[in-house]
Structure 1
């Protein structure tokens, strides 16, 4: 099997419009969570989210007429993909062996909402001809492939909050078996709209700390009461190691292990078994290395955080390395979370720093690991793990190693 490395990364989220500023603020313990501005949320039970502010779609879509053909999640994905491709510094490449693996959990929900309202209130003729193509999850990969002339495999993962971790796994498999020599992975999500907030709020999944947005997301803290929805995107350029080395590419890390599993248990409540098996598969594939840091799924929900803690303690026989969740900073970006957190993990390894879990206010006896509380920590990181778990009982875990 071919070795697979990461040679380019890009990221946009509520902390920054590009990877460096976003990562700097994540490590500084800042948060992008604030009052919702995208719509009037005063009558909603949840009025907070982590919005990407100041993003101009014309920064990546040069023709204003094209913007209406794509929902915001696609626009954000194009931004991250462009940054990753620029970062990879290709002088040339074979388009036919360069593929795309894209992901979102929900896709064009704002456009679905907008056109549904138009159809019901104003009639079917008021539905946009771009409604369907602008909303499809796989159109993210379609638009990215068009923008960068990538004619290899064009794949799409729609597995809730594990989607973009699974997209990374699919891309790795494609390179390992020789289906492609390079893959651009893009995960994106933008579901902060009336129906998105109302739907998750109805499930009691969201934090309702409307008067204190900055501390609403509290992964692993005793007072956690739900996640805060975020939006954003991230992209990773994956390459066959030998080709990357031959062209003198900068290598962020090698993907040495990944694991996927299903709970087969409940549509929203996790099991210990499912996440544990995904992590175990990744760990065994990687050769059971010493892991220096784990970027947890860590949603700030009562069940997930205690469950993930138990799974980690089981896997590492109670000798768990430092763990942090960066969702207190970025919000939970749903299907984009895995890609965003993979990029964060790679940058943490690059810079030798473990991002903090912010809003660690009161210890929970069920969450008793080292969560790098509140303040980032310098450390020599050679191997890092990133976890993602989704509704429907779908799980993914991935392990990166520094290439010396």
Structure 2
């Protein structure tokens, strides 16, 4: 996904062999029918004001707002402001997120550190952890910050891309704390969360490589987005307790369907499910066992009221290729140029790599007069939040 709004490192000139970026995304963002558009900066400023009104210091509120709005900016609204009233404001209200918490460093070995986030806002804390990993990598070639006691941090790709801005490779992965969402292949009870994983790296100018994925077939946000829109979901996203496909997304929150693992296809019991499940366990090891965070498997039965996404663990790592050898940047440009040059099966859909789509979407939506599209229901929801907080709602550019 596209890099966050942080100061950019110096960029190498575009080689003549690199294709010029198209004026539109190769794969347009999922449409959001009806509703207004809001300027990207206005949306971030509004969200920062909301967080400040709920006790978050301004120096945390702004990066937290950028992290949350990133989903809407890059065409992934399931991970954007739709979660403001569903996840973040309730967690701030009931103390599950402490806006003033001071993370504590429990161990510091130079290249690596262990941090207890102490329920600090994850939208801010994850970026701070990546920045710390980047600084460590400047000295040691690699930097790793292992975090426990964390809270929701939005799109992992937003945070991993911070390292790419410094010509480094960024790795961010998180478990879901004690929350259990998907059962293991052949199992009847949920065991692990969606356990997202992101890897970001410099690629082509203003178009970093950013892989950002859940280890389940889709994240829960995509399911809930479909439910809100009244759409069915494809077979292969959800299954019932017997493993039969479910296409009604509302069945998930009714407890009548579980997410399938990446690679499962349409049947929960297929061997391909072990790919996603294995990746989820790998994330659990790196993101939760390493720092000593909460884990789903160790939390009892699925009906345990304590089985929430508390005590999330995550890993933030940065690798500085230039500390190891010369030429990484040129080789990266050559690699990703070759990807773009691959002959497509459909001339109307050229080949792109992960992160290209998001960079194009963000660039288009930052353009004057274009703005970020918001579903009408979400805009009404934000207006109500603004009224409660005593601040102005984000101004509308115009209906689509």
- TM band (smaller chain): under 0.3
TM-score, length basis structure 1 = 0.24
- Give TM-score scaled by structure 2 length: 0.24
Say which one has the larger Rg. 2
